[in-house]
Amino acid sequence: MGEGSTVTSRELAELAIAAGCARVGVCDVEPFDSVRSSLDERRSAGLSGGLGFTFADPATATDVRRSFPWANRLVVAGMAYLPGAGSPGEGAVSARVARFAVDDAYVPLRSTLELIVGRLESDGYRGVVLVDDARLVDRAAAVRAGLGWWGKNTMVLAPGQGPWMLFGSVVTDAMLEVSPAMERGCGACDACLPACPTGALIAPGMLDARRCLAAVLQAPGIIPAHLRAAVGDRLYGCDDCLDACPPGFRLLESSFRPRGRHQLDRLLSAPDEELAAAFGHFYLARAQVEMVRRNALVVAGNVGGADLVPEVVGYLGHPDPVLRAHAVWTARRIGPDWIEALLSSLGQVETDQRVLDEITPVDQSPAEGNRAGNSRRPSGGSRRRPVTT
């Protein structure tokens, strides 16, 4: 520590707020034991689905000192991505992106936290930025640092911002003054629960990631057939439980700039380089471009028409069997009568079982159909970043 050190929690908060953060606080680094128990229980029950991130190693994600033995405090910042991310509104034959992913909203947050690290280091302290990092359950840190409270939709909610914030932290050895926790909660409000289009919010604060569309759209492989209609026009993410949250209404109402819409014909026909440049910040598996195309095919099956048939039929011969499989589903929904004859002929030469299963699908059970919703078109409801804890 430098001689005559003067850095304080208040100074760091003022620095971050001046740089654009909505809320800043400081908390200790004691293990988040209750959060670890929740992660373990949800993983054991299968509710984590295929999500990794903090579910992959809950012990590390809930105990900062496992990664940073010298840690004494976390400086936690929340940056709102509304109104800048705007609203997708309605759009014919197009796909929408959840507001948090319209831009890479983590870039300005990370830059702000680097300013905090610089200030700490100028006084001789250590500081490391943790943003979208599996070594820390960022929402648990935000709640402990007084930035907000756990909402029934599993988000951290804050006065004035509601759920429209991303969180990041600086782990430091400075013994900063900690912030008081926020003594608030959702009370009787449960507007988010029925807003979920697939019933993924199975209880207040409890999410079944296997049904969460935000998680489904970033998971590799085949999108389950019983969830595809519920995808509607979502290319990435889902905002429905956020849109329904009253503490966020003020920011939502000010977010009238039209953003986040992409024309389906371009999504299906664009070269890989164009899609990678436009959506490289999406949190997707290594086959990133293919997953964007996969999601676009599902959207096309929900909102597209005959004008997209040439693009969709082109995917029936794609080298990627996952794309061929989804193209079968989409072609059957939007194509003319001759599509069935084409699919039948393709079935004679197809070698991938996943594609064959789409060409000759097993009847879907009524329970699955009802859970997913049966409309071919989006309901017109509102529209999330994947819930990772």
CA angle 294, 276, 328 (to 5 degrees): 15
The Cα–Cα gap between 184 and 320 comes to: 49
Handedness of CA 313, 317, 323, 325 (dihedral sign): positive
Residue 225 CA neighbour count, 13 Å, CB half: 21
CB-CB neighbours of 245 under 10 Å = 23
Per-residue tokens: 235: 């290319």
- Cis, peptide link before residue 83, omega less than 30° from 0: yes
Contact 131, 110 (CB under 8 A): yes
φ/ψ of residue 80, rounded to 5: -75, 140
Question: Which residues are part of the catalytic machinery?
Answer: 132
CA distances from 372 to 60, 69, 97, 231, 384 (A): 35, 46, 20, 9, 17
Contact 99, 164 (CB under 8 A): yes
Listed in sequence order, the residues at least 6 apart from 330 whose beta carbon sits closer than 8 Å to its beta carbon are 297, 298, 300, 301, 304, 312, 315
CB-CB neighbours of 93 under 10 Å = 15
Burial 343-366 (b: 16+ CB within 10 A, else e): beebeeebeeeebbebbeeeeeee
Contact 311, 268 (CB under 8 A): yes
Per-residue tokens: 13: 């908060």
